[in-house]
């Protein structure tokens, strides 16, 4: 019995610092710095889009994720909808001082279609399906729906010098629940709600500054977001 107690005591003393160290500080503001690009190949229905995102658990330096993503787009001539087939590579860091990282390769398909209400309310609906190849996990899939809402303030359209409000809410739903090694995940993966102020620099460049609240089954955290949107 003494040996068993000694082993239990040693195990608890060893794990408590690790558990405390890995605990995410939900009250600390994180920061995501992002660049989005979109282009059309001349006057055709084909184009490309992508983004680079440097995500931090803090304002900078404690890596949450580095995301590199790009895809080929197709917009039918007679339909107000855009389809994308793309690939992303994601490096995910660990909260705090630990330097452990995991990698993910991701293939995705999405459909994006806009709906306008009145003169100033612009919405976009995005449906995305992901096939995920994550280090040390079985093959995974995920479904995402994002509702975007943009409202110009000092202009009617998104022309040069326009200020606008930007909102979105994105819901993430897991496909497979068993991800290997006896680990199950919930059907609900996460939800992101975002509010920002945007500014149109010119016809091809916009910038946004806002805050996104991300909720998972285990934590809830606010992230400052600074993003540049570029039509090439």
* Beta-strand pair 63-74/220-231: unpaired
* Beta-strand pair 46-56/102-117: unpaired
> Does pLDDT of 43 surpass 90?
no
Tens digit of each residue's pLDDT (9 = 90 or more) over 92-127:
999 988 889 999 999 999 999 999 999 999 999 999
State the virtual CA torsion across 219, 135, 137, 68 in degrees, nearest 10. 60
Tens digit of each residue's pLDDT (9 = 90 or more) over 135-193:
999 999 999 999 999 999 999 999 999 999 999 999 999 999 999 999 999 999 999 99
Question: Given this model, what pLDDT does residue 98 score?
Answer: 83
Prediction pTM value: 0.88
> Does pLDDT of 54 surpass 80?
yes
Nearest to 49 by CA among 36, 66, 35: 36
Question: Given this model, what pLDDT does residue 170 score?
Answer: 98
Pick the CATH number of 31-231 from 3.40.1050.10, 3.90.1300.10, 3.40.50.300, 2.40.160.40: 2.40.160.40
Domain assignments of the chain as residue spans, ordered by start: 31-231
């Amino acid at each position: 019995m003494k040996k068993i107690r000694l082993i239990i005591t040693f195990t608890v003393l060893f794990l408590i610092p690790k558990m405390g160290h890995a605990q995410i500080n939900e009250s600390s503001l994180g920061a995501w710095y992002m660049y989005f690009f979109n282009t059309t190949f001349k006057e055709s229905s084909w184009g490309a889009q992508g983004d680079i995102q440097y995500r931090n658990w803090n304002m900078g330096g404690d890596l949450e994720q580095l995301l590199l993503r790009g895809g080929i787009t197709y917009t039918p001539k007679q339909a107000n909808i855009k389809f994308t087939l793309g690939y992303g590579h994601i490096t995910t860091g660990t909260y705090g001082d630990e330097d452990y990282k995991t990698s993910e390769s991701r293939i995705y398909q999405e459909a994006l279609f806009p709906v306008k209400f009145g003169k100033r309310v612009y919405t976009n609906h995005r449906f995305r399906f992901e096939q995920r190849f994550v280090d040390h996990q079985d093959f995974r899939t995920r479904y995402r729906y994002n509702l975007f809402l943009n409202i110009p303030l000092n202009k009617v359209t998104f022309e040069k010098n326009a200020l606008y409000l930007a909102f979105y809410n994105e819901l993430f739903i897991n496909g497979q629940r068993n991800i290997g090694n006896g680990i199950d995940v919930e059907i609900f993966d996460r939800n992101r709600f975002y509010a920002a102020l945007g500014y149109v620099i010119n016809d091809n460049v916009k910038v946004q500054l806002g805050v996104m609240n991300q909720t998972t089954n285990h934590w809830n955290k606010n992230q400052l977001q600074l993003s540049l949107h570029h039509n090439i």
